[in-house]
A = this chain, B = another copy of it.
Amino acid sequence: MIKVSVFYPADGGEKFDHAYYREKHLPMIQQRLGAACLGYEIDKGLAGGAPGSPPPFVAMCHIFSDSLESFQAAFAPHAAEIMGDVAHYTDITPILQFNEVIER
């Protein structure tokens, strides 16, 4: 299993609409990916590790899929629509990472 992690750096912008992200953006991705989306997680950054420090990331999501290939095949036809929706909730440029899931 793989996990696609998307990070929104705290120093990368001013705006992040957590409600839109939860209620519109991720459900839309899940619908478009269909069976290639085995589930997803959403996190809202609260704090950094040092006492009183801000979180490095404002928000994150993690999308689970069987393989890189199945994710990419399902994502590609909807990439323009999904990427075009980002401006509705943030002006932060996201960072993407593909992971092998070692423990879930």
A: residues with CB less than 8 A from B are 2-3, 5, 7, 18, 22, 26, 40-49, 55-57, 60, 68, 95-104
Contact = CB atoms under 8 A, between A and B. Distances in A.
Contacts of A97: 45-49, 55-57
B5 A43 contact: yes
A104 B46 contact: no
What is the oligomeric copy number? 2
Nearest to A104: B41
A53 to B, nearest CB: 9
B60 A99 contact: yes
Contacts of A104: 41
| A68, A96, A97, A99: most-surrounded residue (chain B CB, <10 A) | A97
B101 A41 contact: yes
A42 B103 CA distance: 5
By Cβ-Cβ distance, the 4 closest A-B pairs, closest first, are A49-B96, A43-B99, A42-B102, A42-B103
